[in-house]
C-alpha cells in the first residue's frame, strides 16, 4: 500500500491572512459544480467555483440540479445565464427524481476516473451521488423555503461506483476565496482576458482609459458590466504567501506550459 502523489488538487483558500488553505479533494479528474435551479443561483459565486476548479488542474462541468422542480422555461433561462459565464465548460441539466441528465454525466464516471461534487448546501449533491451509485449511501436533508440547504454532508465521502469510477461528495461551501488562484481566474475569465490583451497599455486599469479594449466591449454590449466588475474584483485578491501552495502553483504553471507547447508541436505534425 502506498500514498499516491497529488496531481489535481481542489483547494479552498482561506480568506484570513496566514490561515492554511483547506484541501477539499485531490487526485481528481473532473469537478461537478452543482447549482440547484430552485435555489439562489448566483453567477458571481459560480465564477469563483470555476476559477478554483480550473486552478485545481481538473476539468469543471456545471450541473444545474433539481430541474424537475421548476418550469422548463425557467430552466432554459438558468442554462442561458450559466453559459454566459461558463464559456466552454459543459453545462448539464439534471434531476435526481426523473433521472434527467444521468446519461450526459455517465461518460465522466468511468473506470479509473474520479469526480468531485462541489456546490452550495442544498444543491442536491448527496441525492445525486445516491442516484449514480444506485443505492442510498449518503444521508440527504430538506431545503428551507429560502432555497438554503441543511449541511447534511459534514465531511468528505468517497463512493466507489459499480463501473469502477469514484465520486467524492463534499460539504456545502458558501464563502469562497480565490486567494492564490491567479491562473484559475485567468482561465475562468478567458473572454475578458483575451480582450484585455488588446489594450494599448500594459498597465491599463480598464476604467475608461483611451483605447481600452475592455471598455470598448462594454460599450458595444459584448461584455456585461457585472462580468467585468467580477473579473476586476477577483484579480485584485492577493496572491497566497503559503509556501506549499506557492510551490504547487509554480509546478502547475510549468506543467500547463509544457502541455501547451506539446499540443502546438503535435498540431504542426
Q: Calculate the average pLDDT of the chain.
A: 82
Query: Domains, the chain, ranges and CATH?
Result: 9-169 (3.40.50.300), 182-268 (1.10.40.50)
Above 60 in pLDDT, residue 15? Answer: no
197 pLDDT band, cuts 50/70/90, is very high
What are the grid coordinates assigned to 88, written together? 466552454
Cα-to-chain-centroid distance, residue 239: 19
pLDDT band at 213 (very low <50, low <70, confident <90, very high): very high
Question: What cell was used for 1?
Answer: 500500500
Give me 7's grid cell.
496531481
Confidence of residue 234 (pLDDT cuts 50, 70, 90): very high
If DSSP codes are grouped into helix, strand and coil, which group holds residue 71? coil
pLDDT tens-place string over residues 92-145: 999 988 999 999 999 999 998 999 999 887 888 888 888 888 766 665 544 444
Looking at the predicted structure, is the pLDDT value of residue 264 above 70? Answer: no
Is the pLDDT at 19 greater than 90? The verdict is: no
pLDDT value, residue 3? 67
Question: Is the confidence at residue 195, as pLDDT, over 90?
Answer: yes
C-alpha cell at 141: 436533508
Q: Give the percent of the chain with pLDDT over 90.
A: 45
What's the confidence (pLDDT) of residue 198? Answer: 92
Per-residue confidence (pLDDT) for residue 4, from 0 to 100: 67
Instruction: Say if CB 177 and CB 195 are below 8 A apart.
Output: no
The reported pLDDT for the residue numbered 260 is 64
Quick one: which of 190, 268, 245, 218 has its CA closest to 56? Answer: 245
* The pLDDT of residue 26: 84
Of the chain, the percentage scoring pLDDT greater than 70 comes to 74
- Give the integer Cα–Cα distance in Å for 22 and 261: 32
Segment 44-57 mean pLDDT: 92
pLDDT of residue 121: 79
Tell me how far apart the alpha carbons of residues 53 and 231 are, in angstroms, rounded to a whole number: 16
Query: Is the pLDDT at 84 greater than 80, yes or no?
Result: yes
Say what the pLDDT of residue 238 is.
66
Amino acid at each position: 500500500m502506498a500514498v499516491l502523489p497529488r496531481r489535481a488538487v481542489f483547494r479552498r483558500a482561506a480568506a484570513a491572512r496566514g490561515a492554511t488553505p483547506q484541501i477539499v479533494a485531490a487526485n481528481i479528474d473532473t469537478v461537478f459544480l452543482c447549482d440547484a435551479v430552485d435555489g439562489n443561483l448566483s453567477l458571481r459565486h459560480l465564477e469563483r467555483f470555476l476559477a478554483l476548479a480550473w486552478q485545481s488542474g481538473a476539468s469543471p462541468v456545471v450541473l444545474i440540479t433539481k430541474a424537475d422542480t421548476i418550469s422548463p422555461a425557467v430552466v432554459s433561462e438558468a442554462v442561458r445565464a450559466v453559459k454566459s459565464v461558463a464559456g466552454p465548460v459543459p453545462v448539464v441539466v439534471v434531476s435526481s427524481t426523473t433521472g434527467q441528465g444521468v446519461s450526459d454525466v455517465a461518460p465522466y464516471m468511468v473506470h479509473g476516473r474520479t469526480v468531485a461534487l462541489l456546490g452550495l448546501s442544498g444543491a442536491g449533491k448527496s441525492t445525486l451521488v445516491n442516484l449514480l451509485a444506485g443505492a442510498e449511501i449518503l444521508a440527504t436533508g430538506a431545503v428551507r423555503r429560502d432555497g438554503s440547504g441543511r449541511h447534511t454532508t459534514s465531511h468528505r465521502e468517497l463512493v466507489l461506483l459499480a463501473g469502477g469510477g469514484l465520486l467524492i461528495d463534499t460539504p456545502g461551501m458558501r464563502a469562497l476565496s480565490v486567494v492564490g488562484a491567479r491562473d484559475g481566474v485567468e482561465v475562468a475569465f478567458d473572454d475578458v482576458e483575451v480582450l484585455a490583451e488588446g489594450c494599448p497599455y500594459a498597465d491599463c486599469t480598464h476604467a475608461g482609459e483611451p483605447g481600452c479594449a475592455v471598455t470598448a466591449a462594454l460599450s458595444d454590449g459584448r461584455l456585461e458590466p457585472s462580468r467585468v466588475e467580477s473579473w476586476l474584483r477577483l484579480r485584485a485578491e492577493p496572491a497566497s504567501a503559503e509556501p506549499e501552495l506557492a510551490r504547487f502553483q509554480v509546478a502547475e504553471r510549468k506543467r500547463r506550459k509544457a502541455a501547451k507547447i506539446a499540443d502546438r508541436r503535435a498540431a504542426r505534425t
